[in-house]
């Protein structure tokens, strides 16, 4: 089928803490489109490896698990729920430990290959908003609207710190800053699908910008490119 007959896609890429989750969910609500949280697929793969006793550095075994990931996404009373093998793993997936393991499995080329079609299957009418690192470069290179969100490492660490504190976690801002910087380095330096903006992406720096303004700028891009 020619690409033009496929439902439209808005890609929202960028490093951890740049505001992708907040912006993507708001854009999904405003447009009434489908949502792909690609990071959740890497986190699920990491958790599945952990549960099955597979090393997050064993490319072939991790890819074999990624290919058969028994995952499901549900919306219950407006809340997103992620299931692995039928059990609710939503909270566990968000932990720093799983985030760090996810960034290791995400560096393995066979794992990325195993998840590629699964991500493209989310492209359904009336449209898809896809959040990740390589949505605009690798998974949906022909997407009509591509956004690349950034913010300083310090600001991203501060946001994560406030979020975790709000959840009652005992965390230090200094160690979060170091972890985020380390994750950035790994995501940007890997050979397969490194974190980098697509040449045709619109860059938005969210450091000193209210979330509502960023969301409005993304929706303005959608109107400009798709109406």
Q: Are 23 and 29 in contact (CB under 8 A)?
A: no
- Which lies closer to ligand C5P via its Cβ, residue 26 or residue 102? 102
- 106 part of the interface to ligand C5P, by CB under 6 A: yes
Burial letters 139-165, b for 16+ CB under 10 A, else e: bbeebbbbbbbbbebebbbbbbbeebe
Which residues ranging from 130 to 169 are in contact with ligand C5P (CB under 6 A)? 132-134
Give the pairing of strands 145-150 and 9-13: parallel
Which residues ranging from 36 to 55 are in contact with ligand C5P (CB under 6 A)? 38-39, 42-43
- 183 part of the interface to ligand C5P, by CB under 6 A: yes
- Out of 48, 84, 187, 215, point to the residue binding ligand C5P (CB under 6 A): 187
- 16 part of the interface to ligand C5P, by CB under 6 A: yes
- 67 Cβ contact list (under 8 Å, min separation 6): 114
- Which lies closer to ligand C5P via its Cβ, residue 5 or residue 131? 131
- Which lies closer to ligand C5P via its Cβ, residue 114 or residue 187? 187
- Which lies closer to ligand C5P via its Cβ, residue 200 or residue 224? 200
- 19 part of the interface to ligand C5P, by CB under 6 A: no
- Which lies closer to ligand C5P via its Cβ, residue 80 or residue 224? 80
Return left, alpha or beta for 84; rule: phi > 0 is left, psi -120 to 50 is alpha, else beta.
beta
Spatial separation of the C-alpha atoms in residues 227 and 221, rounded to whole Å: 10
**How crowded is residue 216: how many other Cβ atoms within 10 Å of its Cβ?**
13
* Minimum distance of ligand C5P from residue 172's CB (angstroms): 19
> Tokens 């690349």 correspond to what residue?
148
List residues binding ligand C5P (CB under 6 A): 16, 38-39, 42-43, 99, 102-103, 106, 132-134, 183, 187
């Amino acid at each position: 089928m020619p690409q033009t007959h496929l439902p439209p896609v808005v890609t929202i890429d960028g490093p951890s803490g740049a505001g992708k989750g907040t912006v993507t969910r708001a854009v999904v609500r405003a447009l009434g489109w489908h949502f792909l949280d690609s990071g959740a697929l890497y986190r699920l793969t990491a958790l599945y490896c952990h549960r099955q006793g597979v090393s997050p550095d064993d490319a072939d075994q991790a890819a074999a698990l990624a290919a058969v990931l028994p995952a499901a996404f549900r919306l219950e009373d407006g809340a997103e729920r992620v299931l692995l093998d039928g059990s609710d793993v939503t909270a566990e997936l968000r932990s720093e430990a799983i985030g760090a393991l996810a960034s290791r499995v995400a560096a393995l080329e066979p794992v990325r290959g195993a998840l590629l079609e699964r991500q493209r299957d989310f492209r359904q009418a009336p449209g898809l908003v896809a959040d990740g690192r390589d949505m605009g470069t690798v998974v949906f290179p022909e997407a009509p609207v591509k956004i690349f969100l950034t913010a300083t490492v310090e600001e991203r660490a501060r946001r994560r710190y406030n979020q975790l504190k709000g959840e009652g976690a005992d965390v230090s801002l200094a160690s979060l800053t170091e972890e985020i910087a380390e994750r950035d380095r790994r995501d940007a330096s890997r050979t397969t699908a490194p974190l980098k903006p697509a040449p045709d992406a619109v860059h938005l720096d969210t450091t000193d910008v209210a979330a509502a303004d960023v969301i409005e700028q993304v929706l303005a891009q959608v109107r400009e490119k798709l109406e």
